[in-house]
Structure 1
């Protein structure tokens, strides 16, 4: 296999490499210098770490890339390439000549599509009060975007990345959800239910998981639409060795006044109506099995409380910045916008 479209010059920016990777099936960029020699690689994880560190899309690739890439040599055999791909758990390997110039890119031989064992827990028990009158007769997650319920779009999206095991935490008008999805067989997935007899928050229902959890689990609010590659989220969670990973997105707001800086009594500067950027909770999480043990049994408990507890215990928690499409369908205006976006941004692709 060879695809020179995945090569990018080291003088380019983070924004350039983001666009390349987002439009590539490889999900990796191979960085070359002016002499077209391999000098590094950039992965999805490299991009997200850079966004947290630099908070700029104009930073040079040189500050983002892995400067010690794994590669094969033209003198090696295809068997050698496959061994190296498996040894380093990577999907693509650049093959270079004696001058370090890339001759081709070799992919890992896959006999079948990857199917992950990780459970996906979707919180779909809310009242959807802010979406009334639409939610007087339907749970929020069953409102249609395009021609499908929100929840079906979410499930099919996870399935497209190899995740087939779902747990739906239901309460309000649960019969409608259970009647539509049943055990998931008609959607070629497995669906279990946690029936909340009282409000348990965004984390409390996890204490009711019937089986021992052996792999990291996804938790996501059932009113979100996003184009996030969930396999990359899992990869990031494992790579960082986190007990919990919270997805975050950048939120911009403008202060409607002039902001001043002082040094004791002295006025240093005035910034008129500055635009501020902060990372905020995006309602998507990954938890390692150990984290679930810290959730009180059958009590109201929200996910931020759990993360604060893990942080206070000095456990390794991380954030996964989302730069892809993301929409929280919390109000009527959001629902109308999501329907407008559905076709144009290919939410379900």
Structure 2
């Protein structure tokens, strides 16, 4: 049974001024905080042991979420005295993460199947597997291609498609050797270090629901959906996103 680490130490600057009062993982989606929906999803995937990394307004998270008994889970916390970046807080758990574990940002909502992710991760013999989705972005500008000062191609506000990280990762304990202790360290730093040392990193494609509540558009979409006891069906999300 995997342990999970939920990263909840950020300041939520993209949702200011709302996050001046509430930390981003406690932003409401319907009648529940994002973090409560995330924990219910983990519990449905048979994860019972969770660490929540906290920093900014962390006392509010501890007070509201508690020890996890309401979900039949065991929840414990770490505290960042200074921001440690997107993966730096894992250094605080070096003696706790002794088998394959999940890391997920505290502002993510998804219906990803964790058993499928773990099976793919092990089949790849990866140290890190990144959950990915495809996102399309419309540029606000006309895009110019040029050569020697002459325009060779022009596209008016093109729609670009990219594979992006979900902010959800399956990891092996050996990854911790690449994360320095007590200093800010981002996931981009980690991947750059691992690729330089030719350490296996894989990508798992998810075609279902994924919302990044730190983005205003995704936060609004989440409010349009009915969460109740289960995440909404993907086709409902597709309609809402259209």
TM-score scaled to structure 1, two decimals? 0.60
Q: Which range moves more in the overlay, 330-339 or 300-309? A: 330-339
1:225 matched residue in structure 2: 109
| Count of matched residue pairs | 229
Cα contact 1:157–1:348 (8 A) shared by 2: no
One of 114, 121, 131 as aligned partner of 2:15: 131
Residues 1:300 and 1:272: Cα distance change in structure 2 (over 3 Å): closer
1:166 matched residue in structure 2: 50
2:237 matched residue in structure 1: none
Question: Highest CA radius of gyration, 1 or 2?
Answer: 1
The CA distance in 2 between the partners of 1:212 and 1:339, in whole Å, is: 36
One of 115, 133, 139 as aligned partner of 1:249: 133
Q: 3-state DSSP class of the match of 2:89?
A: helix
Residues 1:297 and 1:253: Cα distance change in structure 2 (over 3 Å): same
Whether 1:199 aligns to 2:86 is no
1:338 matched residue in structure 2: 222
Task: Give the CA deviation at 1:253.
Answer: 3.4
Cα contact 1:171–1:197 (8 A) shared by 2: yes
One of 97, 100, 103 as aligned partner of 1:216: 100
1:315 matched residue in structure 2: 199
The CA distance in 2 between the partners of 1:207 and 1:156, in whole Å, is: 26
The CA distance in 2 between the partners of 1:275 and 1:144, in whole Å, is: 31
Cα contact 1:127–1:140 (8 A) shared by 2: yes
The CA distance in 1 between the partners of 2:57 and 2:93, in whole Å, is: 21
Unmatched 5+ stretches in structure 2 = 234-242
Q: How does 1:290-309 map to 2 (within 5 A)?
A: 290-309=174-193
Whether 1:178 aligns to 2:62 is yes
Unmatched 5+ stretches in structure 1 = 1-115
Cα contact 1:183–1:191 (8 A) shared by 2: yes
The CA distance in 2 between the partners of 1:136 and 1:276, in whole Å, is: 33
Task: Give the CA deviation at 1:188.
Answer: 0.5
Cα contact 1:170–1:196 (8 A) shared by 2: yes
Q: 3-state DSSP class of the match of 2:6?
A: strand
Whether 1:326 aligns to 2:210 is yes
Whether 1:153 aligns to 2:37 is yes
The CA distance in 1 between the partners of 2:226 and 2:103, in whole Å, is: 23
Cα contact 1:153–1:348 (8 A) shared by 2: no
Residues 1:226 and 1:190: Cα distance change in structure 2 (over 3 Å): same
Task: Give the CA deviation at 1:137.
Answer: 2.1
Cα contact 2:68–2:74 (8 A) shared by 1: yes
Task: Give the CA deviation at 1:149.
Answer: 0.9
Cα contact 1:156–1:348 (8 A) shared by 2: no
Task: Give the CA deviation at 1:271.
Answer: 7.5
